[in-house]
Each structure stands twice: as C-alpha cells, then as structure tokens.
C-alpha cells in the first residue's frame, strides 16, 4: 500500500470520528491502568461492568491494595483469568505506592516493570492517559493492519513497527483507537462488513494472501 492510500484511509477515519477514545470507562490514569490490566483476553464490556462496581468502593492504589486478593476477586470474578489478574493488580498497587508515590509512571520501562503490564498495555496507558503517539497492537489492530494492507506483518511487533513508520504523523495520536474500533465493528474477524466499510475502495484485502495467525 502506498502513502497516498494510507493517508486517505486515516483521513476518512478521522472525518468519521474526530475524537476517538477507548471504550474502557475511567476517570484517572490509575483507573485506566487497572481497567487495561483487567481487559487482557476479556471484552471492554465485561471490564466496565466490573469496574462500575469496584471503583465506587476502591479506585486508588491504597484502597484497592487494602482489599487484598481475596477482597478484590468478588468484583472481578466475571472476567477471565480473574485470579491471576487479582494478584497482578494488588502487586501493581503495592509497587505504585512504594516506588512511584501512588502515581502511574509515564515511562515505558517503569510501566512494563509492573506485574501483568506488557508492551501493549504500556502503549495504551501512554497513549490514552498521557497523550503519547503510541500504537498498541491488539487482535483487532493486527487483523485490520494485515487485512487492509496498511501495515502487514507476521507478529504484533512487526505490525507496530510498520504502523509507527507508515501512519502519517498527524494521525498517529488517534490511529490506535480508529483501528481498534474499525476492527471491532466493521472489519470483524469472520465476516468483515465490507459492504458497510468507508475505506473498502482503498483496502487491499481481495489481493492479499491469507492472514497470519491472529494473536
């Protein structure tokens, strides 16, 4: 795909949704961090249902840490891998309290040092909470990038590297959200809604070989 096509794709996505954001519900960087930690292999809908119950009771490192693993589990037990996530959340709260003054760090290295926080989660927090032009490649972005030809790659690292190279700078801040929403609601996994796609004429899906394994 050439640069002109990529620019046209993101210009249309911007026109359709000028101010995209995450569908996770949060009011502070800490609430976002915990929500993203809980969202691994889970839907935003299920996470929002849990945090709507949790955050009115505990929404700071001190208050969540005070719950302990056993106290946190009842709030998140409807989410997949809830036992492991509960342990990671409690330990993350401890580290934030003891090493970061109960504040969410802005640096990638510090974020990725938190339990359960990988590159994708760090990218989400850096982008959504702190306005950094990072792109977190989840299953939706991986699929859309490969299927459309925007940034094809065999794994998430390659796709992220290509997106950071190929997405025009003026669109990079919001590209993460546009691609996720496009993959979630239009360019869906099994039967993409090409008939209702605003970038269908720019997409290279029909010319592409089968997708690599999804992540």
Classify residue 191 as exposed, middle or buried by CB count within 10 Å of its CB (0-12, 13-18, 19+): exposed
Measured from the Cβ of residue 15, the count of other Cβ atoms closer than 10 Å reads 9
Taking the C-alpha atoms of residue 210 and residue 109, their distance in angstroms, rounded to an integer, is: 35
Structure token digits, residue 185: 């609601």
Give me the catalytic one of 138, 154, 193, 208: 138
Classify residue 80 as exposed, middle or buried by CB count within 10 Å of its CB (0-12, 13-18, 19+): middle
DSSP labels, 155-178: SHHHHHHHHHHHS-GGGHHHHHHH
Closest CA to 26 of 57, 58, 59, 72: 59
Give me the catalytic one of 120, 154, 157, 208: 120
- Spell out a b/e string for 129-141, using b for 16 or more CB atoms within 10 Å of the CB, else e: beeeebbbbbebb
Does 44 qualify as catalytic in the annotation?
A: no
Does 138 qualify as catalytic in the annotation?
A: yes
Active site residues: 120, 138
């Amino acid at each position: 795909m050439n640069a002109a096509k990529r620019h046209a794709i993101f210009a249309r996505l911007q026109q359709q949704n000028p101010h995209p954001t995450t569908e996770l519900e949060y009011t502070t960087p800490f609430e976002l961090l915990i929500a993203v930690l809980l969202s691994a292999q889970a839907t935003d809908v299920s996470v929002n249902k849990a945090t709507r119950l949790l955050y009115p009771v505990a929404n700071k490192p001190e208050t969540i840490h005070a719950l302990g693993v056993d106290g946190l589990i009842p709030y998140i037990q409807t989410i997949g891998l809830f036992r492991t996530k509960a342990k990671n959340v409690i330990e993350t709260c401890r580290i934030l309290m003891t090493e970061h003054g109960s504040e969410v760090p802005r640096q990638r290295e510090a974020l990725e040092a938190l339990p359960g926080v990988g590159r994708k989660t760090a990218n989400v927090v850096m982008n959504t909470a702190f306005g950094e032009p990072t792109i977190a490649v989840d299953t939706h972005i991986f699929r859309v990038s490969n299927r459309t030809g925007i940034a094809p790659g065999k794994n998430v690292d390659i796709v992220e590297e290509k997106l950071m190279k190929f997405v025009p700078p003026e669109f990079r801040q919001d590209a993460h959200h546009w691609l996720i929403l496009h993959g979630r609601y239009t360019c869906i996994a099994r039967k993409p809604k090409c008939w209702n796609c605003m970038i269908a004429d720019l997409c290279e899906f029909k010319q592409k070989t089968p997708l690599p394994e999804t992540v």
